[in-house]
Amino acid sequence: MFNNNEGLYINGSWFPAHNQATFDSENPATGKVVGVVPEATPQQIEDAVQAAHKARISWGKIPGPERAQYLQLASKEFEHSKDEIINLLIAETGSTFGKAMFELDFTVQFLKAASADYRFGNGEVFPSEDGTLSYTTRRPLGVVVCISPWNVPLILSMKKIVGALIAGNTVILKPSEESSLIAMKIAQVFAAINLPPGVFNLVTGHGDVGQALIAHPLTKAVSFTGSTATGKKIAAQAGGLLKKCILELGGKDAVIILQDIDIDFAVNATIFSGLFHQGQTCMSAERILVESSIADKFIEKLVQKAKSLKMGDPSDHSVEIGPMMSKRQLQIVEDHVDDAKKNGAQILCGGETTNGIFYPPTVLTGVTRNMKVFRDETFGPLLPVLTFDTLDEAIEMANDSEYGLSGGVLTDNLEKAFYITNQLDTGMVHIGNGSVLDDPIDCAFGGIKNSGMGRESGKHSYETLTELKWITVHHQKPVFPF
């Protein structure tokens, strides 16, 4: 998949892992090393920034439809490498086959759709009393630093890269240290389509590499997806330098289930939103709020379904629940369950680590708001269920969180659905669905409160990653007061 010369990708050339510090990327299910990743040196960071800075002039000037052609080519190349990428997502990040397929298909569709986004480059013309032409244009920012997490590494890296490229910027990708091989595959795709040197660059390494990229005077913006703790550090660093930043951060999403809904459908929606990628997605349903009158029946069926899912090494494509990404991630889950038990919650299924790194779907009842499972992001396969009697109680409970990413409202009663959604403090909410949803064609992805700042996709990425310029043209000579 990778030859020995491949590692960092700077200015259209590969820089191999030998002769410098490296770290291993491991298969979470087996602990086996999947590949070796170079830790970028300060000189390589400098080289990547200089290359991207130089390339920004010609890339920013080529017509939008030509930039679009590169993205169309990349989409074909991803399709061409489908099996290889799916296997890598399974091996490097513990993705199940279904989740890996979803990532690949979404990326292909996203590239096709986003290639038309150069059309968002339109400015606006302002009304003028004296015939002055007064208008705005949009210009690329220059070098954009894209920093991505490990959980959905292909989609989340590509959303940032593509949003920046189509707007005429050049990119340096700093992927998570836990999913750097996927990022190397992205670099292979851009190399294969002959994207001009310096337009896309990959520097791998840990958090300090990201920090150095943001600090560099020639980088102009940072597009970040990751934890709230890191996002706050990045916001402080970028803010001090007056660099634009877009932040997609953590979540503690609620799914609200009303008594009129078909219970089997509600169970399926909850299971998907709570357990997709072992609950390791920012939009995971981490608080399940059920109307009291159907709670017993709903919980019984939820437990039944949770117990029926197949858990194991996802190299077996029939597996539905794969490994936790790391011991660190597993310990958070164990800590949240211990805390819930200590404070009086009941564990109806799951609740114990299996085979070292696997954590089974776990349904908790008797959950109270002081518990970590209610307050903190778990990022694991826990389904804490709470009940409510009135819509206002459900809304107040859902809003009782430092986070505000997504949410789901499961009811067929649209009047009640709008009453709830209009009052939820979240950046996204889905009626008739769970909390986990994204759209490759277009949407306004993002959160509020501790879930982030700014929106990604389509015109939202375009507007964030360009600068507005106001221009006037005076047909009559202005009269000056002195």
Lookup: tokens for 6: 């491949």
Binding span for ligand NAD by CB under 6 A among 23-31, 168-176, 300-308, 383-391: 168-176
On the CB side of 279, CA atoms within 13 Å amount to 29
Instruction: Tell me whether residue 28 or residue 210 sits nearer to ligand NAD (CB atom).
Output: 210
Instruction: Tell me whether residue 53 or residue 160 sits nearer to ligand NAD (CB atom).
Output: 160
- In whole angstroms, the minimum distance from the beta carbon of 308 to ligand NAD comes to 27
Binding flag, residue 150, ligand NAD (CB under 6 A): yes
- In whole angstroms, the minimum distance from the beta carbon of 36 to ligand NAD comes to 17
* CA 32 and chain centroid, separation: 26
Q: What CA dihedral angle connects 300, 302, 304 and 310, to 10 degrees?
A: -170
Binding flag, residue 255, ligand NAD (CB under 6 A): no
Lookup: tokens for 379: 């990022």
From residue 367 to residue 386, the character string flagging contacts with ligand NAD as x (rule: CB under 6 A) and all else as - is ----------x-x-------
Q: Which active-site residues does the annotation give?
A: 248
* CA 99 and chain centroid, separation: 14
Taking CA atoms, 13 is separated from 3, 139, 199, 254, 463, in Å, by 13, 28, 12, 46, 31
Of residues 23-82, those binding ligand NAD (CB under 6 A): none
Sign of CA dihedral 321, 323, 326, 331: positive
- In whole angstroms, the minimum distance from the beta carbon of 283 to ligand NAD comes to 7
Residue spans of alpha helices (H) in 81-172? 82-93, 97-114, 153-166
Instruction: Tell me whether residue 152 or residue 289 sits nearer to ligand NAD (CB atom).
Output: 152
Percentage helix, strand, coil for the chain under 3-state DSSP, each rounded to 5: 40, 20, 35
Of residues 192-251, those binding ligand NAD (CB under 6 A): 206-207, 210-211, 225-227, 230, 233-234, 248-251
CA distance 74 to 161: 12
Instruction: Tell me whether residue 178 or residue 291 sits nearer to ligand NAD (CB atom).
Output: 178
Binding flag, residue 156, ligand NAD (CB under 6 A): yes
Q: What is the DSSP code string of 212-280?
A: HHHHSTTEEEEEEES-HHHHHHHHHHHHHTT-EEEEE----EEEEE-TTS-HHHHHHHHHHHHHGGGG-
Q: List the one residue out of 277, 271, 274 whose CA is nearest residue 308.
A: 271
- How would you classify the pairing of strands 285-291 and 253-257? parallel
* CA 417 and chain centroid, separation: 26
From residue 275 to residue 294, the character string flagging contacts with ligand NAD as x (rule: CB under 6 A) and all else as - is -------x------------
Binding flag, residue 327, ligand NAD (CB under 6 A): no
- In whole angstroms, the minimum distance from the beta carbon of 249 to ligand NAD comes to 5
Binding flag, residue 454, ligand NAD (CB under 6 A): no
CA distance 160 to 146: 6
Instruction: Tell me whether residue 67 or residue 430 sits nearer to ligand NAD (CB atom).
Output: 430
Instruction: Tell me whether residue 226 or residue 384 sits nearer to ligand NAD (CB atom).
Output: 226
349, burial (CB in 10 Å: exposed 0-12, middle 13-18, buried 19+): middle
Question: CA gyration radius for the chain?
Answer: 24
For the chain, the straight-line distance linking the first and the last C-alpha, in angstroms and rounded, comes to: 71
Instruction: Tell me whether residue 228 or residue 387 sits nearer to ligand NAD (CB atom).
Output: 228
- In whole angstroms, the minimum distance from the beta carbon of 187 to ligand NAD comes to 15
- In whole angstroms, the minimum distance from the beta carbon of 23 to ligand NAD comes to 11
- In whole angstroms, the minimum distance from the beta carbon of 460 to ligand NAD comes to 13
Binding flag, residue 440, ligand NAD (CB under 6 A): no
Instruction: Tell me whether residue 152 or residue 382 sits nearer to ligand NAD (CB atom).
Output: 152
Judged by CB under 6 A, the residue of 176, 188, 223, 461 near ligand NAD is 176
Q: With CB under 6 A, what is the number of residues at the site for ligand NAD?
A: 32
Judged by CB under 6 A, the residue of 77, 105, 177, 439 near ligand NAD is 177
CA distance 473 to 468: 17
- In whole angstroms, the minimum distance from the beta carbon of 155 to ligand NAD comes to 9
Bridge partners (DSSP) of residue 321 are 311
Binding site residues, ligand NAD, CB under 6 A: 147-152, 156, 174-177, 206-207, 210-211, 225-227, 230, 233-234, 248-251, 282, 377, 379, 405, 447, 451-452
